[in-house]
Structure 1
Amino acid sequence: MGEIRNSAEHQQKVYERWAPVYDRVYRGLLRDGHRTVAKLAGEAGRDILEVGVGTGLALSYYPQQCNVTGIDLSEHMIAKAREKVARRRLFHVRALHVMDAHRLQFADQSFDVVCLPFVITLIPDPERALDECARVLRPGGEIIIASKLGDGRGLQGAIEEAVAPLVHRVGWSSAFRIGRICEWAERRGDFEVAEIRRVFPNGFFKVMRVKHRLTA
Protein backbone atom coordinates (compact mmCIF):
# COMPACT_ATOMS: atom_id res chain seq x y z
CA MET A 1 0.00 0.00 0.00
CA GLY A 2 2.85 2.38 0.74
CA GLU A 3 4.24 1.99 -2.76
CA ILE A 4 0.82 2.66 -4.30
CA ARG A 5 0.32 5.73 -2.13
CA ASN A 6 3.71 7.15 -2.99
CA SER A 7 3.17 6.56 -6.70
CA ALA A 8 -0.26 8.19 -6.52
CA GLU A 9 1.28 11.20 -4.82
CA HIS A 10 3.88 11.37 -7.60
CA GLN A 11 1.11 11.36 -10.23
CA GLN A 12 -0.85 14.08 -8.43
CA LYS A 13 2.22 16.34 -8.33
CA VAL A 14 3.03 15.65 -11.98
CA TYR A 15 -0.46 16.47 -13.17
CA GLU A 16 -0.76 19.54 -11.02
CA ARG A 17 2.16 20.89 -13.05
CA TRP A 18 0.81 19.59 -16.36
CA ALA A 19 -2.86 20.63 -16.00
CA PRO A 20 -2.43 24.19 -17.38
CA VAL A 21 -0.63 23.06 -20.56
CA TYR A 22 -1.83 19.47 -21.00
CA ASP A 23 -4.30 20.22 -23.80
CA ARG A 24 -1.77 22.14 -25.89
CA VAL A 25 0.81 19.37 -25.62
CA TYR A 26 -1.38 16.28 -26.07
CA ARG A 27 -4.57 17.25 -27.94
CA GLY A 28 -3.26 16.50 -31.42
CA LEU A 29 -1.05 13.59 -30.43
CA LEU A 30 -3.84 11.67 -28.67
CA ARG A 31 -6.80 12.71 -30.84
CA ASP A 32 -7.00 9.53 -32.94
CA GLY A 33 -6.78 7.35 -29.84
CA HIS A 34 -9.46 9.35 -28.05
CA ARG A 35 -11.81 9.25 -31.04
CA THR A 36 -11.30 5.51 -31.44
CA VAL A 37 -11.97 4.81 -27.77
CA ALA A 38 -15.11 6.95 -27.75
CA LYS A 39 -16.47 5.37 -30.95
CA LEU A 40 -15.90 1.83 -29.71
CA ALA A 41 -17.40 2.70 -26.33
CA GLY A 42 -20.54 4.12 -27.95
CA GLU A 43 -20.93 0.93 -29.99
CA ALA A 44 -20.53 -1.24 -26.87
CA GLY A 45 -23.05 0.45 -24.58
CA ARG A 46 -24.83 3.53 -23.29
CA ASP A 47 -23.54 3.97 -19.72
CA ILE A 48 -19.80 4.71 -19.88
CA LEU A 49 -17.17 5.26 -17.20
CA GLU A 50 -13.93 6.96 -18.22
CA VAL A 51 -11.07 6.29 -15.81
CA GLY A 52 -8.35 8.94 -15.99
CA VAL A 53 -10.50 11.58 -17.65
CA GLY A 54 -7.76 14.20 -17.21
CA THR A 55 -8.74 17.58 -18.66
CA GLY A 56 -11.57 15.96 -20.62
CA LEU A 57 -9.89 15.73 -24.02
CA ALA A 58 -11.96 12.67 -25.02
CA LEU A 59 -15.33 13.78 -23.66
CA SER A 60 -16.61 15.57 -26.77
CA TYR A 61 -16.06 12.46 -28.92
CA TYR A 62 -18.54 10.20 -27.11
CA PRO A 63 -21.92 9.83 -28.86
CA GLN A 64 -24.53 12.24 -27.54
CA GLN A 65 -26.92 9.44 -26.60
CA CYS A 66 -24.43 8.06 -24.08
CA ASN A 67 -24.26 8.80 -20.36
CA VAL A 68 -20.62 9.45 -19.50
CA THR A 69 -19.10 9.56 -16.02
CA GLY A 70 -15.44 10.52 -15.62
CA ILE A 71 -12.98 10.13 -12.78
CA ASP A 72 -9.42 11.28 -12.22
CA LEU A 73 -6.95 11.26 -9.34
CA SER A 74 -6.04 14.92 -9.93
CA GLU A 75 -8.29 17.70 -8.66
CA HIS A 76 -6.56 20.11 -11.04
CA MET A 77 -7.33 17.93 -14.07
CA ILE A 78 -10.96 17.46 -13.02
CA ALA A 79 -11.33 21.23 -12.62
CA LYS A 80 -10.17 21.69 -16.24
CA ALA A 81 -12.53 18.94 -17.42
CA ARG A 82 -15.50 20.57 -15.64
CA GLU A 83 -14.70 23.89 -17.31
CA LYS A 84 -14.61 22.16 -20.69
CA VAL A 85 -17.94 20.38 -20.11
CA ALA A 86 -19.64 23.66 -19.13
CA ARG A 87 -18.09 25.70 -21.95
CA ARG A 88 -18.90 23.16 -24.67
CA ARG A 89 -22.28 22.19 -23.19
CA LEU A 90 -21.47 18.49 -23.16
CA PHE A 91 -24.81 17.35 -21.76
CA HIS A 92 -23.96 13.66 -22.22
CA VAL A 93 -21.31 14.02 -19.49
CA ARG A 94 -23.31 13.33 -16.34
CA ALA A 95 -20.65 13.57 -13.61
CA LEU A 96 -16.94 14.12 -13.01
CA HIS A 97 -15.34 12.95 -9.77
CA VAL A 98 -11.95 13.03 -8.08
CA MET A 99 -11.39 9.35 -7.41
CA ASP A 100 -8.68 6.69 -7.17
CA ALA A 101 -8.84 4.00 -9.87
CA HIS A 102 -7.84 1.41 -7.25
CA ARG A 103 -11.01 2.16 -5.25
CA LEU A 104 -13.92 3.02 -7.52
CA GLN A 105 -16.82 4.42 -5.51
CA PHE A 106 -19.55 2.88 -7.65
CA ALA A 107 -21.86 -0.06 -7.11
CA ASP A 108 -21.24 -3.38 -8.82
CA GLN A 109 -22.43 -3.61 -12.43
CA SER A 110 -22.99 0.13 -12.85
CA PHE A 111 -21.63 0.60 -16.40
CA ASP A 112 -21.82 -0.98 -19.86
CA VAL A 113 -18.30 0.16 -20.76
CA VAL A 114 -15.22 1.27 -18.83
CA CYS A 115 -12.64 3.27 -20.81
CA LEU A 116 -9.03 3.89 -19.80
CA PRO A 117 -7.59 6.29 -22.40
CA PHE A 118 -3.85 6.81 -21.95
CA VAL A 119 -3.85 6.07 -18.22
CA ILE A 120 -3.17 2.33 -17.69
CA THR A 121 0.61 2.78 -17.75
CA LEU A 122 0.36 5.46 -15.05
CA ILE A 123 -1.66 3.46 -12.54
CA PRO A 124 0.57 2.08 -9.75
CA ASP A 125 -1.29 -1.28 -9.59
CA PRO A 126 -2.95 -1.83 -13.00
CA GLU A 127 -4.30 -5.27 -12.15
CA ARG A 128 -6.05 -3.97 -9.07
CA ALA A 129 -7.56 -1.12 -11.10
CA LEU A 130 -8.69 -3.55 -13.81
CA ASP A 131 -10.33 -5.70 -11.16
CA GLU A 132 -12.24 -2.61 -10.04
CA CYS A 133 -13.22 -1.89 -13.64
CA ALA A 134 -14.46 -5.48 -13.94
CA ARG A 135 -16.46 -5.13 -10.72
CA VAL A 136 -18.42 -2.07 -11.92
CA LEU A 137 -18.94 -3.52 -15.41
CA ARG A 138 -22.22 -5.15 -16.37
CA PRO A 139 -22.27 -8.72 -17.76
CA GLY A 140 -21.07 -8.78 -21.36
CA GLY A 141 -19.55 -5.31 -21.09
CA GLU A 142 -16.19 -4.08 -22.36
CA ILE A 143 -13.07 -2.48 -20.94
CA ILE A 144 -11.45 -0.30 -23.63
CA ILE A 145 -7.82 0.70 -23.15
CA ALA A 146 -5.73 3.14 -25.17
CA SER A 147 -2.04 3.56 -24.48
CA LYS A 148 1.53 3.18 -25.61
CA LEU A 149 1.57 -0.59 -25.25
CA GLY A 150 4.85 -2.30 -26.07
CA ASP A 151 5.56 -5.97 -26.62
CA GLY A 152 8.98 -5.97 -24.97
CA ARG A 153 10.76 -7.48 -27.98
CA GLY A 154 13.81 -6.48 -29.96
CA LEU A 155 15.21 -2.98 -30.27
CA GLN A 156 11.87 -1.35 -29.50
CA GLY A 157 11.67 -3.20 -26.19
CA ALA A 158 15.22 -2.19 -25.28
CA ILE A 159 14.47 1.47 -26.04
CA GLU A 160 11.29 1.35 -23.95
CA GLU A 161 13.22 0.01 -20.96
CA ALA A 162 16.02 2.55 -21.39
CA VAL A 163 13.79 5.62 -21.44
CA ALA A 164 11.42 4.45 -18.68
CA PRO A 165 13.15 6.40 -15.84
CA LEU A 166 13.15 9.59 -17.91
CA VAL A 167 9.49 9.58 -18.92
CA HIS A 168 8.51 8.76 -15.33
CA ARG A 169 9.36 12.37 -14.51
CA VAL A 170 6.50 13.58 -16.69
CA GLY A 171 4.05 10.91 -15.58
CA TRP A 172 4.47 8.50 -18.52
CA SER A 173 5.65 4.92 -18.67
CA SER A 174 7.21 3.46 -21.81
CA ALA A 175 7.76 -0.05 -20.50
CA PHE A 176 4.19 -1.30 -20.03
CA ARG A 177 3.52 -4.54 -21.90
CA ILE A 178 0.43 -5.63 -23.79
CA GLY A 179 1.01 -9.07 -22.32
CA ARG A 180 0.32 -7.78 -18.84
CA ILE A 181 -3.30 -7.03 -19.76
CA CYS A 182 -3.64 -10.33 -21.60
CA GLU A 183 -2.29 -12.19 -18.55
CA TRP A 184 -4.77 -10.38 -16.29
CA ALA A 185 -7.67 -11.47 -18.51
CA GLU A 186 -6.39 -15.03 -18.68
CA ARG A 187 -5.94 -15.30 -14.90
CA ARG A 188 -9.49 -14.10 -14.28
CA GLY A 189 -10.97 -16.38 -16.89
CA ASP A 190 -14.07 -14.23 -17.43
CA PHE A 191 -12.45 -11.70 -19.80
CA GLU A 192 -10.89 -12.02 -23.24
CA VAL A 193 -8.96 -9.63 -25.48
CA ALA A 194 -11.36 -9.04 -28.37
CA GLU A 195 -9.25 -6.64 -30.44
CA ILE A 196 -5.96 -4.74 -30.53
CA ARG A 197 -6.13 -1.79 -32.91
CA ARG A 198 -3.18 0.36 -33.97
CA VAL A 199 -3.81 4.12 -34.02
CA PHE A 200 -1.93 7.34 -34.79
CA PRO A 201 0.96 7.94 -34.98
CA ASN A 202 1.73 4.92 -37.17
CA GLY A 203 0.58 2.40 -34.60
CA PHE A 204 2.74 3.87 -31.82
CA PHE A 205 -0.44 3.93 -29.70
CA LYS A 206 -2.85 1.01 -29.50
CA VAL A 207 -6.45 0.52 -28.46
CA MET A 208 -7.47 -2.75 -26.80
CA ARG A 209 -10.99 -4.10 -26.34
CA VAL A 210 -11.20 -6.46 -23.39
CA LYS A 211 -14.63 -8.08 -23.27
CA HIS A 212 -16.44 -9.75 -20.39
CA ARG A 213 -17.17 -13.35 -21.29
CA LEU A 214 -20.69 -14.38 -20.38
CA THR A 215 -20.92 -17.77 -18.72
CA ALA A 216 -23.57 -20.27 -19.70
Structure 2
Amino acid sequence: MDIEAVQSSYARWAPIYDKTFGAVTHSGRRRAVSYINSRDGSVLEVGVGTGLSLEHYNPELKVTGIDFSAQMLSKAQAKVREHDLRHVVALRKMDARALDFPDHSFDTIAAMHVLSVVPEPEQVMSEIARVLKPGGKVVITNHFVRTQGILALLERLSAPFANTIGWHSDFHIETVLQERALEVEEHKALPPLGLMTFLVLTKAGAA
Protein backbone atom coordinates (compact mmCIF):
# COMPACT_ATOMS: atom_id res chain seq x y z
CA MET A 1 0.00 0.00 0.00
CA ASP A 2 1.49 3.37 -0.99
CA ILE A 3 1.03 6.68 0.81
CA GLU A 4 -1.10 8.20 -1.98
CA ALA A 5 -3.49 5.26 -1.70
CA VAL A 6 -3.71 5.79 2.06
CA GLN A 7 -4.51 9.46 1.56
CA SER A 8 -7.22 8.89 -1.03
CA SER A 9 -8.74 5.97 0.86
CA TYR A 10 -9.06 7.85 4.13
CA ALA A 11 -10.30 10.99 2.44
CA ARG A 12 -13.21 8.81 1.28
CA TRP A 13 -13.69 7.15 4.66
CA ALA A 14 -13.37 10.22 6.90
CA PRO A 15 -17.02 11.38 6.70
CA ILE A 16 -18.39 7.95 7.72
CA TYR A 17 -15.44 6.44 9.61
CA ASP A 18 -16.90 6.77 13.12
CA LYS A 19 -20.01 4.77 12.24
CA THR A 20 -18.26 2.12 10.13
CA PHE A 21 -14.68 1.13 10.99
CA GLY A 22 -14.95 3.10 14.20
CA ALA A 23 -17.79 0.90 15.40
CA VAL A 24 -16.00 -2.32 14.39
CA THR A 25 -12.81 -1.33 16.24
CA HIS A 26 -14.50 -0.04 19.40
CA SER A 27 -13.63 -3.05 21.57
CA GLY A 28 -9.92 -2.88 20.76
CA ARG A 29 -9.77 0.87 21.23
CA ARG A 30 -11.51 0.64 24.61
CA ARG A 31 -9.09 -2.06 25.79
CA ALA A 32 -6.04 -0.08 24.66
CA VAL A 33 -7.14 3.18 26.27
CA SER A 34 -7.98 1.38 29.52
CA TYR A 35 -4.43 0.03 29.67
CA ILE A 36 -2.89 3.41 28.82
CA ASN A 37 -4.97 5.12 31.51
CA SER A 38 -3.26 2.95 34.12
CA ARG A 39 0.02 4.67 33.27
CA ASP A 40 1.44 8.18 33.69
CA GLY A 41 3.18 10.69 31.50
CA SER A 42 3.22 11.36 27.77
CA VAL A 43 1.31 9.43 25.12
CA LEU A 44 1.71 9.38 21.36
CA GLU A 45 -1.21 8.01 19.36
CA VAL A 46 0.03 6.98 15.92
CA GLY A 47 -2.84 7.11 13.46
CA VAL A 48 -5.17 9.12 15.65
CA GLY A 49 -7.71 9.22 12.82
CA THR A 50 -10.92 11.06 13.67
CA GLY A 51 -9.97 11.14 17.35
CA LEU A 52 -12.40 8.52 18.62
CA SER A 53 -10.15 7.68 21.58
CA LEU A 54 -9.20 11.21 22.63
CA GLU A 55 -12.03 12.01 25.05
CA HIS A 56 -11.48 8.70 26.88
CA TYR A 57 -7.89 9.25 27.97
CA ASN A 58 -7.11 10.09 31.58
CA PRO A 59 -7.06 13.92 31.73
CA GLU A 60 -3.77 13.80 33.63
CA LEU A 61 -1.99 12.33 30.61
CA LYS A 62 -0.36 14.48 27.92
CA VAL A 63 -1.57 13.15 24.58
CA THR A 64 -0.15 13.88 21.14
CA GLY A 65 -1.87 12.49 18.07
CA ILE A 66 -0.54 12.16 14.53
CA ASP A 67 -2.12 11.12 11.26
CA PHE A 68 -1.26 11.45 7.58
CA SER A 69 -4.85 12.23 6.57
CA ALA A 70 -5.77 15.91 6.82
CA GLN A 71 -9.45 14.98 6.59
CA MET A 72 -9.17 12.63 9.56
CA LEU A 73 -7.23 15.19 11.60
CA SER A 74 -9.89 17.80 10.92
CA LYS A 75 -12.47 15.50 12.55
CA ALA A 76 -10.14 14.91 15.52
CA GLN A 77 -9.53 18.64 15.99
CA ALA A 78 -13.29 19.24 16.03
CA LYS A 79 -13.68 16.69 18.84
CA VAL A 80 -10.92 18.39 20.87
CA ARG A 81 -12.71 21.73 20.56
CA GLU A 82 -16.18 20.29 21.21
CA HIS A 83 -15.16 18.42 24.36
CA ASP A 84 -12.49 20.89 25.55
CA LEU A 85 -9.88 18.12 25.73
CA ARG A 86 -7.04 19.96 27.45
CA HIS A 87 -4.96 16.80 27.86
CA VAL A 88 -4.53 16.70 24.07
CA VAL A 89 -1.39 18.80 23.66
CA ALA A 90 -1.00 18.45 19.88
CA LEU A 91 -2.54 16.96 16.75
CA ARG A 92 -0.12 16.92 13.83
CA LYS A 93 -0.09 15.77 10.22
CA MET A 94 2.86 13.40 9.98
CA ASP A 95 4.17 10.34 8.16
CA ALA A 96 4.60 7.58 10.75
CA ARG A 97 7.62 6.29 8.83
CA ALA A 98 9.55 9.44 9.77
CA LEU A 99 8.31 10.72 13.13
CA ASP A 100 9.28 14.32 13.78
CA PHE A 101 10.15 13.76 17.44
CA PRO A 102 13.47 13.29 19.25
CA ASP A 103 14.58 9.90 20.51
CA HIS A 104 13.00 8.77 23.80
CA SER A 105 10.14 11.30 23.71
CA PHE A 106 7.13 9.32 24.98
CA ASP A 107 6.24 7.07 27.92
CA THR A 108 3.53 5.23 25.99
CA ILE A 109 2.75 4.88 22.29
CA ALA A 110 -0.61 3.70 20.98
CA ALA A 111 -1.07 2.19 17.53
CA MET A 112 -4.72 1.25 17.26
CA HIS A 113 -5.84 -0.35 14.01
CA VAL A 114 -3.23 1.54 12.02
CA LEU A 115 -0.31 -0.81 11.34
CA SER A 116 -2.17 -2.73 8.63
CA VAL A 117 -3.02 0.48 6.76
CA VAL A 118 0.39 2.18 6.60
CA PRO A 119 3.10 1.69 3.98
CA GLU A 120 6.26 0.05 5.32
CA PRO A 121 4.92 -1.03 8.74
CA GLU A 122 8.38 -2.35 9.67
CA GLN A 123 9.75 1.19 9.36
CA VAL A 124 6.82 2.53 11.39
CA MET A 125 7.64 0.07 14.18
CA SER A 126 11.29 1.13 14.05
CA GLU A 127 10.29 4.77 14.46
CA ILE A 128 7.92 3.90 17.30
CA ALA A 129 10.76 2.13 19.10
CA ARG A 130 13.06 5.10 18.52
CA VAL A 131 10.79 7.75 20.06
CA LEU A 132 9.68 5.52 22.96
CA LYS A 133 11.49 5.97 26.26
CA PRO A 134 13.45 3.00 27.65
CA GLY A 135 11.04 0.97 29.75
CA GLY A 136 8.11 2.50 27.86
CA LYS A 137 5.14 0.59 26.43
CA VAL A 138 3.71 0.23 22.94
CA VAL A 139 0.00 -0.61 23.00
CA ILE A 140 -1.30 -2.14 19.79
CA THR A 141 -4.71 -3.30 18.68
CA ASN A 142 -4.96 -4.69 15.18
CA HIS A 143 -6.37 -7.39 12.97
CA PHE A 144 -3.86 -10.05 11.96
CA VAL A 145 -4.30 -12.68 9.28
CA ARG A 146 -5.74 -16.06 10.23
CA THR A 147 -4.28 -19.31 8.98
CA GLN A 148 -7.45 -21.40 8.76
CA GLY A 149 -11.23 -21.23 8.55
CA ILE A 150 -13.68 -19.27 6.43
CA LEU A 151 -12.38 -15.92 7.67
CA ALA A 152 -8.87 -16.85 6.58
CA LEU A 153 -10.22 -17.53 3.08
CA LEU A 154 -12.04 -14.18 2.98
CA GLU A 155 -8.86 -12.41 4.09
CA ARG A 156 -6.87 -13.97 1.27
CA LEU A 157 -9.54 -13.09 -1.29
CA SER A 158 -9.68 -9.43 -0.21
CA ALA A 159 -5.90 -8.97 0.05
CA PRO A 160 -5.42 -7.74 -3.57
CA PHE A 161 -7.83 -4.85 -2.89
CA ALA A 162 -5.78 -3.30 -0.07
CA ASN A 163 -5.34 0.05 -1.81
CA THR A 164 -9.08 0.32 -2.45
CA ILE A 165 -10.45 -0.69 0.94
CA GLY A 166 -7.65 1.02 2.88
CA TRP A 167 -6.17 -1.86 4.91
CA HIS A 168 -4.32 -5.14 4.52
CA SER A 169 -6.56 -8.09 5.36
CA ASP A 170 -3.56 -10.44 5.15
CA PHE A 171 -1.36 -8.57 7.65
CA HIS A 172 0.97 -10.87 9.61
CA ILE A 173 1.73 -10.36 13.30
CA GLU A 174 5.41 -11.13 12.67
CA THR A 175 5.66 -7.75 10.93
CA VAL A 176 5.01 -6.08 14.28
CA LEU A 177 7.05 -8.44 16.45
CA GLN A 178 10.35 -8.29 14.56
CA GLU A 179 11.48 -4.98 16.07
CA ARG A 180 14.37 -6.09 18.29
CA ALA A 181 14.14 -3.22 20.78
CA LEU A 182 10.62 -4.28 21.78
CA GLU A 183 9.60 -7.35 23.78
CA VAL A 184 6.10 -8.82 24.07
CA GLU A 185 4.55 -8.28 27.50
CA GLU A 186 0.92 -9.12 26.71
CA HIS A 187 -0.81 -10.82 23.77
CA LYS A 188 -4.57 -11.44 23.80
CA ALA A 189 -7.38 -12.05 21.33
CA LEU A 190 -10.28 -9.63 21.67
CA PRO A 191 -14.02 -10.24 21.27
CA PRO A 192 -15.99 -10.73 19.16
CA LEU A 193 -14.57 -13.92 17.64
CA GLY A 194 -10.99 -12.94 18.34
CA LEU A 195 -11.11 -10.75 15.24
CA MET A 196 -8.75 -8.20 16.79
CA THR A 197 -5.58 -8.72 18.82
CA PHE A 198 -4.34 -6.70 21.81
CA LEU A 199 -0.57 -6.40 22.25
CA VAL A 200 1.65 -4.63 24.77
CA LEU A 201 5.33 -4.36 23.89
CA THR A 202 8.04 -3.07 26.24
CA LYS A 203 11.21 -1.25 25.22
CA ALA A 204 14.32 -2.63 26.85
CA GLY A 205 16.00 -0.43 29.44
CA ALA A 206 15.17 1.22 32.75
CA ALA A 207 11.90 3.10 33.03
Report matched runs for 1:52-201 at 5 Å.
52-151=47-146, 153-155=147-149, 156-182=151-177, 184-185=178-179, 188=180, 190-201=181-192
Q: Please give the secondary structure, in 2, of the residue aligned with 1:43.
A: coil
**TM superposition shift of 1:42:** 2.3
Q: Distance in 2 between matches of 1:14 and 1:31?
A: 20
Q: Distance in 2 between matches of 1:56 and 1:45?
A: 20
Counterpart contact for 2:5–2:163, Cα < 8 Å: no
Identity, % of aligned positions: 36
State which of 37, 44, 52 in structure 2 corresponds to 1:42: 37
Unaligned runs of 5+ in 2: none
Counterpart contact for 2:54–2:88, Cα < 8 Å: yes
Unaligned runs of 5+ in 1: none
**TM superposition shift of 1:89:** 1.3
Q: Distance in 1 between matches of 2:162 and 2:189?
A: 22
- Letter of the aligned partner of 1:191 in structure 2? L
Number of residue pairs matched?
A: 205
Counterpart contact for 1:34–1:61, Cα < 8 Å: no
**TM superposition shift of 1:64:** 1.3
Q: Please give the secondary structure, in 1, of the residue aligned with 2:37.
A: helix
**TM superposition shift of 1:167:** 4.8
**TM superposition shift of 1:145:** 1.0
**TM superposition shift of 1:21:** 1.1
Paired position in structure 2 for 1:10? 5
TM-score, structure 2 as length reference: 0.93
State which of 188, 193, 200 in structure 2 corresponds to 1:209: 200
Q: Distance in 1 between matches of 2:85 and 2:30?
A: 16
66-75 vs 141-150, greater mean Cα deviation: 141-150
